[in-house]
Amino acid sequence: METGFEPDALACSGAWEGNVTPQQADVEAQLALDFAPFVGAGADFSFVGKSDDADNGPFTSNPMDTTGTLNFDVPITGFFAVALKAGDAFSVYLFDGGVAGLTSIDYSTLGVSVNQDGQAQDLSHATLISVGPFAAPIPEPETYALMLAGLGVVGFVARRRKR
């Protein structure tokens, strides 16, 4: 699939209206559906940071052109997503950094937002979104204590009935 990225994006979600941050919960829920064929059902999406954050978040800079390169502070391994914000819209793209990791991606905002003449609009910022397997909640110690107490009571009652 030709996406205007190097390396090519695996999939895209969008274009969405507005800004990604105020819609974070909705975006994460939609990405779980849109990207499930690639990352599996129940994947967990978490916002890492934006290129217009202080110190550029997880990026080395905040490029603001219609095409360019997004460089990461550290190599990104496994599945991850990048949201590109241009004009009054954003789109989210899925990548696979593999085991070695990706240190950068070349981007184009053509699939994000165009002006009335069909020209791509400049990048406002990029957002890095981590993708991980769904993690079942780990029970708190109090839950284990309550379960053990319940089993103790059941054992005590069963022992008394045997006599």
The residues, any chain, with a CB within 8 Å of residue 143's CB and separated by 6 or more, are none
The residues, any chain, with a CB within 8 Å of residue 117's CB and separated by 6 or more, are none
Give me the phi and psi of 91, to 5 degrees please: -130, 150
pTM of the model: 0.78
Q: What is the residue-level pLDDT of the chain in tens, covering all 163 positions?
A: 445 678 889 999 988 999 988 999 999 999 999 999 999 888 899 999 999 998 999 999 989 898 999 999 999 999 999 999 998 999 999 999 999 999 999 998 888 888 888 888 899 999 999 998 644 445 667 776 777 777 777 777 777 777 6
Place of tokens 């219609």: 66
**Segments making up each domain of the chain, as ranges:** 11-138
What string of DSSP letters covers the chain?
---S-BSPPSEEEEEEES-TGGGHHHHHHHHHHHTHHHH-TT-EEEEEEETTSGGGTTBS----SSEEEEEEEEEEPSEEEEEEEETTEEEEEEEE-TTT-EEEEEEESTTT-B-TTSPBPPEEEEEEEEEE---PPPPPHHHHHHHHHHHHHHHHHHHHHH-
Kindly list the distances between the CA atom of residue 52 and the CA atoms of 36, 39, 68, 128, 130, in Å, as whole numbers in the listed order.
Answer: 28, 27, 15, 11, 17
Give me the phi and psi of 34, to 5 degrees please: -65, -35
